[in-house]
Structure 1
Amino acid sequence: MELECTMDEQDVVVLDTGSGFLKVGFSGEDAPRAVLPTAMATAMADESREDEAAVTGDSAAQKKSQVFYGEEAILQENAQITRPVQRGEIQLTQPEKEAMENLLEHVFRNVLGVEQEDLPCLIADTMPLGQSSYATRQWIAEVMFEKIKVKSLAIFNTAALSLFSTGRTRGLVVESGEGITQAVPVFEGYAIPHAIFKMKVAGHDITQRLQSMMAEELGTKQSHRTMQAMKEKVCFVAPSGSGGIPADALDSGDEEARSFELPDGQIIQVKEKIRTGATEILFGGEGEASMPKICLDAINTVDLDFRQDLVKSVVVAGGTSMLLNLAPRLRSELKSTLSSELSKTVEVVSDSQRRFAAWIGGSMFASLSTFDQVAITKQEYEEGKSDVRGLVARKTF
């Protein structure tokens, strides 16, 4: 019996292709094997590398340019960096498509070190069901079967998987990553397409705002990478907006919480006005898109009898949801704007693993025996080549 069970078990490659980071690993594991920036860079090879290339007999063309992925790509100065996923969507223009193909091949071959042909794959993406996502999902299916040569492929909405990672099947998922923030009502494991609301304000925009605020403060502009590190170390969400904090105030937290070391070794104290001011864009201003507003829009769009289920399980997920105080602030804003009946039951859930919630949900789902029922097999793909779009539409969730 044991032997039969073992043979039934299969590793599924789980991929979450975010705007900022690509998360990859195997089903059944509780964290991704690798997390790398979703980026590819083409740079001119340096002299020492050219000498190595000459020794190994590489052609002249290969000596001239070199391709870097992930962290290495970001570190290349004066290189052409391509980011194939922007604002949550894979870009279907030629340079981005090529970069995405190459990045996927790199992940399978070099990061995971697996024979793609033998393995099923689950991809998590932010695209909801509907016409707008068909072209992207069709292209991804073609790449995975034709180029990566996977055994089978399932494509799932990240929000549904994020909810699944908390053990729930109904709720409102508020995802905020690098490029997009969205409120997604999920009913019995399915994202409800017409009630999904998005805003193009997320981690990248907080970093940019921090960069401009610090440039004003220091008189010099720091790199995006440095500001991203600063955001993760010292920024937080003000409990009820940051309007009342004096411009020169240092916050009441300890010195360690507001200290940051710049690349030149200088240690600075970051004012609370900056630490909370950068994150405030998630909560918008008068008439602007904000996290509470997209949540309200999503809640008000679904059926009346489903709203109670949503407000009882508001699940925050994604890298930007790691900001301190984000969940309590969202809860208080929702309570103040919802009807009195709904506001009594508002609960915002912030799991400790929420940074990788979609990947973890994918890992859990891919471990279930039902995974094979929802995946497109190689045979189905070969037989349905005349209508890949229809096949993908029927079998993605």
Structure 2
Amino acid sequence: IEIFEIIVRYALEDLLRVEYKDMPVLIVESVLFSKESRHAIAQLMFDKFQVPALYLVKDSVATCFTSGRSSGLVVDVGHYNTKVTPVHDGYVLASTITSQPLAGYALSNQAIHTLENELNLNIVPSFKVKSKRPVGLNEPADYDQVNTMVTNTFHSYHLHKTIEDFKACVLQASESAYNEVFLSQKPNKTYEFPDGFNTSFVTERYRIPESLFQPKQFLLPPPQDGQAILSLPEMILKSVNMCDIDLRANMLSNILITGGTSLLHGVTERLYYELTNYVAANKVKISAPSSSIERRYGSWIGGSILGSLGTFQQLWVSRQEYEELGVSIIDRRCQ
């Protein structure tokens, strides 16, 4: 909660430059937040920041509002986690949520593992490159290095930034199950690393994202301690099957895909292909915003839409209600 306080203070004081006591605050929270975390946030906002009113909205509910819906199956393929959340009439069906750490960070680690351990490439983050000179395909990099002492966390952060660019430019989900012979005939993709080294990728482009659909066979490094990892389609079907039988068809026909990792080329199309292997094609409908901004910040946009509705004003938890009824009012009002 201390880190959250620092972020809120920076946003309100340094960026927005508003007076806390004059500004009602709507916070988009993860569906995985515990009751204790929600209470701590409410106490922080009311007791320390002295806000006049507060509301907490679940991120999956806010994502539904972005597309003008009150119900749907929200598939959030983010950085550290992938969450599948059924939402019905504006309420999260908490007992049916499926979540696991098969997301962007896992794919980044797999990309690093593939580049360094399988292809023997040395990934040089951009902060280490002072200047570089053009070289031919697969020729050694010719660059001047910046000799700066940095912490391991600083180096790791910039290494992952480099890999994020690599993922966006190179990786693509295969249209169907990974077939190395077939995919080796696909056009290659050339990528230049920050130090100027450039090379082409073919099967690696498809093998890394395949972890989302066949993690048992393709995820590297493999899960530790025998951890069971479900594929993205398996997570969706698990959540749907935990819903009331009357809601399942509606969930499958209202799949909303969001999150930065869902922007990898071909992920939405492959997901549709996989789901229609289990369910009739006319029963599956996937909606995915074409804008990367909407995909990355869909829940934030949905929160702004919710906060601007005239009917929303009656949902605020006021300071007076908090002082009279205590933090439990958050659980009753912000479901």
Given the two structures, how large is their TM-score scaled by the length of structure 1? 0.68
**Which residues in structure 2 correspond to 1:133-212 (within 5 Å)?**
133-212=34-113
| Structure 2 counterpart of 1:391 | 329
Where does residue 219 of structure 1 map in the other structure?
121
1:280 alignment counterpart: 210
1:357 to 288, 298, 306: 298
Matching of residue 366 in structure 1 with residue 307 in structure 2: yes
* Aligned residue in 2 for 1:260: 191
The answer for the alignment partner of 1:119 in structure 2 is: 23
Contact map agreement 2:123 2:193 (CA 8 A) in 1: no
Deviations 1:209-250 (A, max 9, x none): 111111132432452221122112222211113342579x47
Q: Aligned partners of 2:3, 2:120: CA distance in 1, in Å? A: 36
The aligned residue for residue 15 of structure 1 is: none
Return the letter of the residue paired with 1:102. Answer: I
Inter-partner Cα distance in structure 2 for 1:347 and 1:246: 28
Q: Provide the rounded CA distance (Å) in 2 between the counterparts of 1:278 and 1:113.
A: 43
CA contact (8 A) 1:134 1:392 kept: no
CA change 1:219–1:195 in 2 (3 A) is same
**What residue number does 1:22 align with?**
none
Q: What's the CA shift string for 1:56-110, capped at 9, x where partnerless?
A: xxxxxxxxxxxxxxxxxxxxxxxxxxxxxxxxxxxxxxxxx32221121111111
Alignment partners' CA distance in 1, 2:50 and 2:314? 19
Q: Report the CA distance shift for 1:262/1:148 in structure 2 as closer, same or farther (over 3 A).
A: farther
- Does residue 344 (structure 1) correspond to residue 282 (structure 2)? The answer is yes
Residue 297 of structure 1: how far off its partner (Å): 0.8
Deviation at 1:182, TM superposition (A): 1.1
Secondary structure at 1:175 match in 2: strand
1:299 corresponds to: 240
Q: 2 CA distance for matches of 1:354 and 1:219? A: 32
Deviation of 1:261 after TM superposition, in Å, equals 2.8
The residue that corresponds to 1:99 in the other structure is 3
CA distance in 1 between partners of 2:12 and 2:214 (Å): 40
Letter in 2 for 1:181: T
Picking from 265, 274, 285, the partner of 1:333 is 274
**Pairwise CA distance, 1:117:** 1.9
Q: 1:191 to 1:355 in 2, by over 3 A?
A: same
**Count of matched residue positions in the alignment of Structure 1 and Structure 2:** 286
Q: How does 1:52-71 map to 2 (within 5 A)?
A: none
Deviates more, 1:315-324 or 1:109-118: 109-118
Retained in 1: the 8 A contact 2:74–2:87? yes
Deviation at 1:114, TM superposition (A): 2.1
Residues 144-187 of structure 1: CA distance to partner in whole angstroms, max 9, x if unpaired?
22233322111111111111111122211111111111111111
Structure 1 gap segments, 5+ residues each: 1-96
255, 268, 272: which one pairs with 1:314? 255
For CA contacts below 8 A with separation 6 or more, give which structure has more relative contact order: 2
Secondary structure in 1 matching 2:6: helix
Structure 1 letter corresponding to 2:26:
L
Residue 183 of structure 1: SS of its match in structure 2?
strand
Cα offsets for 1:34-54 (capped at 9, x unmatched): xxxxxxxxxxxxxxxxxxxxx
Q: CA deviation at 1:347?
A: 0.8
SS of 1:122's equivalent in the other structure is strand
User: Could you tell me how far apart the structure 2 residues matched to 1:382 and 1:166 are?
Assistant: 35
CA distance, structure 1, for counterparts of residue 190 and residue 47 of structure 2: 50
What's 1:73 paired with? none
Instruction: Please identify runs of 4+ aligned residues in structure 1 that moved more than 6 A.
Output: none
Any conservation in 1 of the 2:77–2:261 contact (CA below 8 Å)?
yes
Matching of residue 232 in structure 1 with residue 133 in structure 2 = no
Q: 1:189 to 1:199 in 2, by over 3 A?
A: same
Cα distance, 1:329–1:246 mapped onto 2, change above 3 Å: closer
Give the match for residue 376 of structure 1: 317
Percentage identity across paired residues of the two chains: 29
